[in-house]
Amino acid sequence: MKTLIFGAGNLILSDEGFGVHCINYLAERYQFPEEIELYDGGTLGIMVTHKIEEAERVFIVDTVDTAGEPGDIFRYEKDDIMLNRLPVKLSPHQIGIQEMLFISELRGGCPANVSLVGVIPATLDPGNELSPPLCDKLPRVAGLIVDELRGLGYEIREKQQNVLH
Amino acid sequence: MSKRITLDPITRIEGHLRVDVEVNGGQVSKAWSSAQMWRGIEVILKGRDPQDAWSYAQRFCGVCTTVHAISSIRSVENALNVEVPLNAQYIRNIMIAQHSVQDHIVHFYHLSALDWVDIVSALKADPKKTASIAQSISDWPGNSEKEFKAVQDKLKKFVEGGQLGIFASGYWGHPAMKLPPEVNLLAVAHYLKALDYQRKAAQAVAILGGKNPHIQNLVVGGVATAVNMDNLATLNMERIAYLKELMTETRDFVQKVYYPDLVAIGSFYRDWFRHGAGVTNYLAVPEFAEDTRNTKFALNGGIIYNGDLATFKPINDHQDQALIQGITEGVAHAWYEGADSLHPWDGETKPEYTDFQENGKYSWCKSPRFNGKAMQVGPPAQILASYAAGNPLVKKVVDATNAKLGIGLKEYHSTMGRLVARGLRAHVMADLSLTYLDKLVDNIGKGDTAYANNTEIPSGEYKGVGFHEAPRGTLSHWMVIDKKKIKNYQAVVPSTWNASPRDEHGQPGPYEASLVGNPVAMADQPLEVLRTVHSFDPCIACAVHTIDPAGKEITKVKVL
């Protein structure tokens, strides 16, 4: 089974890039089996729909615009997306992800299991680093995904970290 | 009595654009275009290494990644007067052309078609009739009755299951929708199919660029795509054969599906060749460099004033001083400090937000001008400039299309004209992709295996500009290098030219001007306004606020 971890967002608008930061964090710290692909989808939305269709299980990491505190973590499943129950966020790729999944479903290409893990951003100002509250949450979101993947039977090893760093 | 309508945001995909229109007697009397998000990304490039700028620059925009990388790398090459080997030019040209093909397919089907195509009406179509219409306009093999029936059945299930989801807010049944059910079904089927072909174009870019959506293969002075026909780790015969297969398939889709669909839809909406002209001054830069110094190009650039091809002044290369000196950006109505128009090398990005003041500052977008004039950029500019210059590639497709649609060149100054020009551009790009692949193979066959002139950044001050005729129009990146670091960086992007607010002389930008006179049948469903704005392929998402003359909101509708 091929599983795709899709990081969405814009790396140069600080917290907007949370999904991509998460992919980079996972790649640095863990050794994934070949059937798992970490993908930096940027803000392309509909132009990368094929990546979703090629997978059998998809996790999308993104930011969401909903009530709560910066760094609050939310999770949505495919039904939420198809019935338009996602909180529309204020980001440059606003409609991309939902439209992408919807068209895929209409084409009969959308995998049965699609989960979206979203965090509330603190800032969308220009900058290539996450804000402190989101920086704090990054290991937790990454950990949630790794635990779930292990639960699905994947063997995921932690990479040796260089202690001098 | 006039009504005020606010559309915010208006694109289907990228960033935030707000458009305010005042409607009088069923048509737009005044319009304001306002970019709602500050993207002062230039600021984060200051102090970085010039040779790394392109990899940041391709995150400027969520859709057109490749184009900013190309413009950025060219700005360094221009500053340091670096030649680019032919193989690298050909590889860049293939990436540029395939990126355009992908971008235009997605714009036509996914970002603008639903302004013209009524999904719900497609449910009433006879799939057999749809197939016979499709087969009468194209010999593409995917147009069977079975295919159309399957799409219609799937669509029915969705509508019955209440799963129209994000499409639920579309303007289905709007009086301005004119296509017969059969043509709507045709377009919806191709809307779904188009995703397979935009993917092939993305794959082609990835073969050369190393990765998609963000390419990895640029270096100052060329590309990092090693070419060796016999080495499996590089661009070899097998990869080139695969590239050719992918690009042939996308070409067939563009020429046998997208293009006939466009002509069919255009012929049902002839009145839209009369709306939406706006600013008819055009600017395009030459593209597809065919020598190592960016002086010889396949498609022409130039300036046209007032829609009159007799005023055509060619821009022959990327070093054209009249072009370089003529561009300024003003902030009289933009949320930046001051009111001056500055040349991009002297440009500043100092935000000063007020709020939306229709006679004051009302946008994050600056006002680019050429010799003080507002200019429209994009496919019509490139097509008209090339036509005026007598370019045989462009002349052939334009003449054939005009004959099919019964239109002349003046119909290109319109909402539908912009869609037609974009389709023609895609047509030409699909062919050029294959041309440059042949040229690449040929050149390597002659023994030229150079793909980069490795370049060190010298100390001292250098200024450069990288021009690129991108899918949305003329793009330029302006870089000042000092002590091996970036001292100033400004990007003058196509959507800034087109979405520009008024300037210090009160001249409106192309979006604003094009909306004046647009019909609006229903103030609470301003579909016609979307048609014109979407025709520019705005790159800067949608809720509609209808506001009464006292400024009170009557209704708010989300538009995708």
Q: Which of A44, A88, A101, A114 to mutate to test the interface with B (most CBs of B within 10 A)?
A: A44
Q: How confident is the model at residue A162 (pLDDT cuts 50, 70, 90)?
A: low
Residue A85 scores a pLDDT above 90: no
Which of chain A's residues have a Cβ under 8 Å away from the Cβ of B44?
Answer: 12, 126-128
B16 touches chain A (CB under 8 A): yes
Nearest chain B Cα distance for residue A144, angstroms: 27
State yes or no: cis peptide before B213, omega within 30 of 0.
yes
Cβ–Cβ below 8 Å for A84 and B40: no
| Residues of chain A contacting B, Cβ within 8 Å | 10-13, 40-50, 82-84, 88, 90, 92-96, 98-99, 102-108, 124, 126-128
Min Cα distance A149 → chain B (Å) is 25
Task: Tell me how far the alpha carbon of residue B448 is from its chain's centroid.
Answer: 34
What is the pLDDT confidence band of residue A43, given thresholds at 50, 70 and 90? Answer: confident
Residues of B in contact with A96 (CB under 8 A): 13, 62
Say how far apart CA B362 and CA B545 lie, in whole Å. Answer: 17
Closest Cβ–Cβ partner in A40, A92, A126 for B40: A126
Is residue A93 scored above 80 in pLDDT?
no
Residues of chain B contacting residue A9, judged by C-beta atoms under 8 Å apart: none
Contact B213 A127 (CB under 8 A): no
Please give the pLDDT value at position B21. 86
Beta bridge partners of A58: A4, A114
Q: Catalogue the active-site residues of B.
A: 14, 61, 64, 68, 472, 495, 539, 542
Model pLDDT, residue B532: 93
Minimal C-alpha gap between B341 and chain A (Å): 24
Chain A nearest-CA distance from B118, in A, is: 16
Strand partners for B232: none
Instruction: With CB atoms and an 8 Å threshold, state whether B213 touches A48.
Output: yes
Distance separating alpha carbons of residues A90 and B194, to the nearest angstrom: 28
Strand ranges in B103-148 using DSSP code E only, listed in sequence order = none
Q: What's residue B112's pLDDT?
A: 87
Q: Do A45 and B13 touch (CB under 8 A)?
A: yes
Q: Which pLDDT does position B272 carry in this prediction? A: 98
Nearest to B33 by CA among B340, B362, B283, B386: B362
Average pLDDT along chain B, 560 residues, taken 10 residues at a time: 58 58 86 73 84 83 78 96 96 96 92 90 96 96 96 88 64 92 97 93 90 81 80 80 97 98 97 97 98 95 98 96 95 87 85 85 90 97 98 98 97 98 98 97 91 94 97 95 94 89 95 94 86 84 28 37
| Whether A42 and B102 lie within 8 Å, measured CB to CB | no
B15 to chain A: nearest residue by CA? A92
Q: Which of A15, A16, A5 is nearest to A61 (CA)?
A: A5
Task: Say yes or no for a CB contact (<8 Å) between B106 and A47.
Answer: yes
Residues 54-73 in B contacting A (C-alpha not used; CB under 8 Å)? 56, 59-60, 62-63, 65
* Separation between Cα atoms, residue A149 and residue A44, nearest integer Å: 25
Rounded Cα distance, A130 and A138, in Å: 9
* Ramachandran angles phi, psi of B355, nearest 5°: -145, -170
Task: Find the CB nearest A106 among B38, B40, B192.
Answer: B192
Nearest 5°: phi and psi at A59?
-115, 125
Do residue A82 and residue B110 have CB atoms under 8 angstroms apart?
A: no
DSSP string, B227-238: B-TT-TTSB-HH
Of A11, A44, A98, the CB nearest to B166: A98
User: CB–CB of A12 and B56 under 8 A?
Assistant: yes
Whether residue B174 lies within 8 A of chain A, CB to CB, comes out as no
CB-based contact, B161 to chain A, within 8 Å? no
Per-residue model confidence as pLDDT tens digits over A114-147: 998 988 888 877 778 999 999 999 999 999 999 9
pLDDT of residue B496: 87
B213 touches chain A (CB under 8 A): yes
In SS3 terms, B469-497 reads as: EECCEEEEEEEEEECCEEEEEEEECHHHH
Residues of A in Cβ contact (< 8 Å) with B162 = 83
Maximum Cα interatomic distance, chain A, rounded to a whole number of Å: 51
If one counts every other C-beta atom within 10 angstroms of the C-beta of residue B129, the result is 17
Q: Determine the residue among B13, B111, B169, B249 to mutate to test chain A binding: the one whose Cβ has the most chain A Cβ atoms within 10 Å.
A: B13
Residues forming a β-bridge with B24 = B2, B27
- Establish if B216 touches chain A: CB-CB under 8 angstroms: no
Structure tokens belonging to residue A68:
């709560």
ipTM above 0.95, yes or no: no
A157, two tokens: 């090893």
> What is residue B111's predicted lDDT score, i.e. its pLDDT?
83
> Using CB atoms and an 8 Å cut-off, which of residues 277-306 of chain B contact chain A?
none
* CB contact (8 A) between residue B163 and residue A46: no
